[in-house]
């Protein structure tokens, strides 16, 4: 199916529409997956399926078989995201809420047991008939003294009865908000990242400077050379008879005898002049 697509549209048209370099399309057609990770290779297949509306299951199976080493697909996720911390925090809050509810419930039952005898004593028949048996010459202060135990006990019981439901409601709310956190797992779109490739037309000298580590690399070659896309790097060439492609499928062609200067920023290639090259290189040339 993939071979038929290339014959129908040509490799140049497929490369322009998908932004996958011709070099990688050739490797997919030849079944050469060296240099690819499985997510990169499957990412290319998904781009082809989305762009042309075709089913490339045969190419996907070929990639799985080649990268498994035993003929069975590798079961690994294409989208990777660490999300274990949020559920653990949610479980911790839930356990804490349950412990608080249990403590408050125990305190409530303890208060009930402690205040029950005083409440029952205030309601006994002897207390209800006490005014009828009061002596005639008893002091007025004794006759008019109202019992204070019952109202205070009722108010305390009312507060104790109202507090646990509020705590239980909070615990239920925490449990409800914790559940979505367990299930929340967003998938991020995958963008294939290729190395930057320099392809000389004739033998070419070029130098590479890693702006983070300060490491310098110089090469003289007539064969294609791949540069790691990660981080910021400076590139200078001895002349302009070469092609350079970046990690996003952009291709630049040169055919002159002049030096050329480039900034490589996480796979994106941008041509700069000699003055900017020296500024980025701490005021120095190569």
In order, the DSSP letters of 135-167 are: -TT--HHHHT----HHHHHHHHHHHHHHHHHHH
Residue 161 sits in the same domain as residue 213: no
Last residue of a domain, one of 137, 155, 183: 183
The whole domain housing 236 covers 196-280
Residue 22 sits in the same domain as residue 102: no
The per-residue pLDDT for 56 is: 87
- Other Cβ atoms less than 10 A from the Cβ of 189: the count is 7
C-alpha R_g of the chain: 40
For residue 33, tell me if it sits in a domain: yes
For residue 50, tell me if it sits in a domain: yes
pTM of the predicted structure, to 2 decimals: 0.37
Write out pLDDT tens, residues 168-216.
Answer: 555 555 555 545 444 544 555 445 568 999 999 999 999 999 999 999 9
Residue 156 sits in the same domain as residue 133: yes
- Parallel, antiparallel or unpaired: strands 216-221 and 242-245: unpaired
Write out pLDDT tens, residues 42-83.
Answer: 999 999 989 988 888 888 888 888 887 544 344 433 333 433
For residue 79, tell me if it sits in a domain: no
Residue 96 sits in the same domain as residue 131: yes
Query: Is residue 208 a contact partner of residue 189, using CB atoms and an 8 Å limit?
Result: no
For residue 75, tell me if it sits in a domain: no
pLDDT exceeds 80 at position 227: yes
pLDDT exceeds 80 at position 115: no
For residue 256, tell me if it sits in a domain: yes
d(CA 82, CA 139): 81
Residue 27 sits in the same domain as residue 60: yes
Look at 26-35, 175-184, 251-260 and tell me which has the smallest mean pLDDT. 175-184
Residue 201 sits in the same domain as residue 160: no
Residue 203 sits in the same domain as residue 275: yes
d(CA 11, CA 7): 8
Residue 159 sits in the same domain as residue 202: no
Q: Running DSSP on this structure, what letter comes out for residue 267?
A: T
pLDDT exceeds 60 at position 142: no
58: tokens are 């045969």
Residue 34 sits in the same domain as residue 62: yes
207 in the Ramachandran plot: left (φ > 0), alpha (ψ -120 to 50) or beta?
beta
H-helix or E-strand spanning residue 173:
helix 149-183
In order, the DSSP letters of 79-129 are: S-----HHHHHHHHHHHHHHHHHHHHHHHHHHHHHHHHHHHHHHTSHHHHT
Last residue of a domain, one of 68, 103, 125: 68
d(CA 218, CA 286): 10
Residue 92 sits in the same domain as residue 179: yes
Which range in 54-58, 104-108, 247-251, 275-279 is most confidently predicted, on average pLDDT? 275-279
Residue 110 sits in the same domain as residue 168: yes
For residue 49, tell me if it sits in a domain: yes
Last residue of a domain, one of 154, 183, 212: 183
For residue 77, tell me if it sits in a domain: no
For residue 222, name the pLDDT band (cuts at 50, 70, 90): very high
Sheet holding 232-237, edge to edge: 216-221, 204-210, 232-237, 260-265, 268-272
Tally the domains of the chain.
Answer: 3
Query: Is residue 208 a contact partner of residue 235, using CB atoms and an 8 Å limit?
Result: yes
For residue 244, tell me if it sits in a domain: yes
């Amino acid at each position: 199916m993939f071979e038929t697509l290339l014959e129908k549209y040509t490799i140049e048209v497929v490369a322009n529409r998908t932004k996958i370099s011709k070099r990688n399309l050739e490797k997919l057609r030849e079944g050469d997956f060296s240099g690819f990770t499985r997510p990169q290779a499957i990412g290319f297949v998904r781009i082809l399926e989305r762009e042309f509306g075709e089913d490339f299951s045969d190419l996907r199976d070929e990639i799985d078989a080649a990268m498994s080493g035993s003929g069975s697909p590798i079961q690994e996720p294409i989208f990777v995201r660490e999300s274990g911390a949020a559920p653990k925090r949610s479980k911790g809050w839930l356990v804490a809420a349950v412990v608080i509810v249990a403590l408050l419930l125990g305190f409530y039952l303890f208060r009930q047991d402690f205040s029950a005898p005083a409440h029952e004593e205030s309601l006994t028949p002897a207390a209800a008939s006490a005014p009828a048996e009061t002596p005639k010459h008893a002091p007025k202060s004794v006759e008019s003294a109202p019992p204070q135990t019952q109202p205070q006990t009722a108010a305390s019981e009312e507060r104790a009865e109202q507090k646990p439901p509020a705590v239980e409601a909070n615990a239920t709310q925490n449990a409800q908000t914790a559940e979505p956190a367990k299930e929340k797992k967003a998938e991020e779109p995958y963008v294939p990242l290729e190395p930057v490739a320099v392809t000389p037309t004739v033998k070419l000298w070029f130098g590479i400077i890693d702006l983070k580590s300060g490491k310098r690399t110089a090469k003289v070659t007539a064969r294609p050379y791949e540069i790691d896309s990660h981080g910021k790097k400076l590139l200078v060439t001895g002349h302009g008879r070469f092609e350079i492609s970046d990690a996003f499928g952009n291709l630049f062609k040169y055919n002159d005898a002049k030096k050329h200067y480039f900034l490589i920023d996480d796979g994106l290639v941008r041509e700069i002049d000699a003055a900017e090259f020296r500024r980025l290189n701490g005021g120095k040339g190569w």
